[in-house]
Amino acid sequence: MPRVVRQAAVAWEGSLSRGTGTATATSSGTFVLPIDLPSRITDKPGKTSPEELLAAAHAGCYSTSLAGEIARAGGTVQSLDVMCTITLDEVEGKGHLIVSSELDVRARAEGIDQAGLEQVARKADEGCTFSALIRASASVSVRAEIAS
Amino acid sequence: MAAERRASVTWKGDLRSGSGTIDEVGSGAFGPLDVSWDARSDESPGGKTSPEELIAAAHASCFSMALANGLAKAGNPPERLETSAVVTFVPGTGITKSALSVKAAVPGLDAEGFHAAAEDARKNCPVSQALAGVPEITLDASLDS
């Protein structure tokens, strides 16, 4: 299999608390995003953050994995809505850690029922590259339901 | 204090011929962005982002913040850090490497102090810890003279 390489770049100026940066998608050119500390840790993120970028990565990775698993189980995907919530928390003695990633799925698919969906949703988690990695510091949970 | 960050993706169709969209993120800072298996696994991304590119952006951002923090706490806030992260994905195997590189302008700091701070950020930033299962997380750090 070929190796696939993807690159992003950040330019940062100043200290952590007062400085600001810019994150750029170098490979695809699809985004240039400002970042700073308040957007990462407060309740009102006006800018993106590492955790939000990881949430987008996990939702993207998991949705491709689930699309593959539903087809393998004989179902046909019309659409999958996947929401990912990543939590950064301060853990005693360890500083800030990414502690959880929660995936919420609503699936429109033919040829698969709720029980079947729950089964492939677990398989998709096992097969998702990112789920496997992030378990180094975070718990991963998946809730999946058939959209009516 | 726990900070939650959210993103939503819609996927249509199967893996190979289907496609998806990162519809929105909690901050509203980006989206919609298209994603597809071809764009993810081809040598050329064809103008679409991918989980690996987003991980590269998250890793470069997190490392930069951790390094800025370490330097500032030691009394030498950086004038400027230029960081890149290159994430390698092998379809069927997974993510095999994240290569960080940083060029920094830090007034008043020698190379030894800078390299120690950079290595600490590589090891301990939250994204590095979350990606501890990646076989290689490398760092190339240089201080502008």
The string of DSSP codes covering A82-128 is EEEEEEEEEETTTEEEEEEEEEEEEEEEES--HHHHHHHHHHHHHH-
Q: Which residues contact B109 (CB under 8 A, 6 or more apart)?
A: B71, B76, B143
Q: Are residues A24 and A74 located together in one domain of the fold?
A: no
For A83, nearest residue in chain B (alpha carbons)? B8
Q: A42–B49: do the CB atoms touch at under 8 Å?
A: no
**Domain total in chain A:** 2
Residue type at position B97: K
Mean pLDDT of chain B: 94
Chain B neighbors of A84, CB-CB under 8 A: 6-9
Low-confidence spans in chain B with pLDDT less than 70: 1, 145
Indicate whether A23 belongs to any domain: yes
List the single residue in B with minimal CA-CA distance to A4: B89
Residue A44 is predicted with a pLDDT of: 81
A3 in any annotated domain: no
- In 3D space, the residue among B65, B145, B110, B6 whose CA is nearest the CA of residue A22 turns out to be B65
Among candidates B56, B83, B133 on the partner chain, residue whose Cβ is nearest the Cβ of A6: B56
A40: closest CA of chain B, how far (Å): 7
What 3-state DSSP class applies to B71? helix
Residues B78 and B125 in one domain: yes
Q: Are the CB atoms for B54 and A43 separated by under 8 Å? A: no
Residues of A in contact with B67 (CB under 8 A): 12
Domain that holds residue A15: 8-41
- Residue B111, burial from CB neighbour count under 10 angstroms (0-12, 13-18, 19+): exposed
Looking at the structure of chain B, the number of domains it has is 2
Cβ <8 Å between A64 and B87: no
pLDDT score, position B92: 86
Are the CB atoms for A50 and B126 separated by under 8 Å? yes
A110 band by pLDDT with thresholds 50, 70 and 90: very high
Do residue B10 and residue A79 have CB atoms under 8 angstroms apart?
A: yes
Q: What is the pLDDT of residues A37-51, one digit of tens each?
A: 999 998 888 899 999
pLDDT score at B16: 87
Co-location of B69 and B107 in the same domain: yes
Q: Nearest residue on chain B to A51, judged by CA atoms?
A: B5
Query: Confidence class of residue A3 from pLDDT cuts 50, 70 and 90?
Result: confident
Q: Is B93 helix (H, G, I), strand (E, B) or coil?
A: coil
Query: How high is the pLDDT of residue A148?
Result: 73
Domain that holds residue B23: 7-41
A78-101 pLDDT, tens digit per residue, is 999 999 999 999 999 988 999 999
B91 and B127 co-located in one domain: yes
Let me know whether B12 and B36 are in one domain: yes
The CATH code of the domain that includes B123 is 3.30.300.20
pLDDT of residue A103: 97
Q: What is the pLDDT of residue B1?
A: 66
Angle at A98 between CA A89 and CA A123, to 5 degrees: 135
